[in-house]
Amino acid sequence: MSWHYQIRKRTITGKAFYDIVEMFDLPPGWTEESVGPYGETKDALLDDLARMRHDAEYYPGFEEFT
C-alpha cells in the first residue's frame, strides 16, 4: 500500500473548508478525519510538516461531497 497527503475541500451547510488527509493508492481511499503532523522528535515533526507541504503542492486537491 502506498499513500500521500492530499488537500480535501469539504462544504458543510454552505461553508467550504480545507484540510489534509492521507490518500491511499491501493486500495484507493482516504482517511475520514483530517490528519496533523506527527514526530517523536522536533526534527521528525518538521520532516512530516515538510512532506505534508510537498504533497499538498504536488498532488491536486479533491472535493468531498457530504
Predicted confidence pLDDT, tens digits, the chain (66 residues): 699 999 999 998 899 999 999 999 999 999 999 999 999 999 999 999 999 999 999 999 999 976
Check residue 53 and give its pLDDT. 98
The Cα 18–Cα 41 span in angstroms is 27
Contact status, residue 6 vs residue 13, Cβ threshold 8 Å: no
Check residue 65 and give its pLDDT. 79
Check residue 1 and give its pLDDT. 64
Counting the structural domains of the chain, the total is: 1
Check residue 12 and give its pLDDT. 86
Check residue 34 and give its pLDDT. 96
User: Which amino acid, 40?
Assistant: E
| Beta-carbon count within 10 A of 15 CB | 7
User: 56: domain range?
Assistant: 3-64
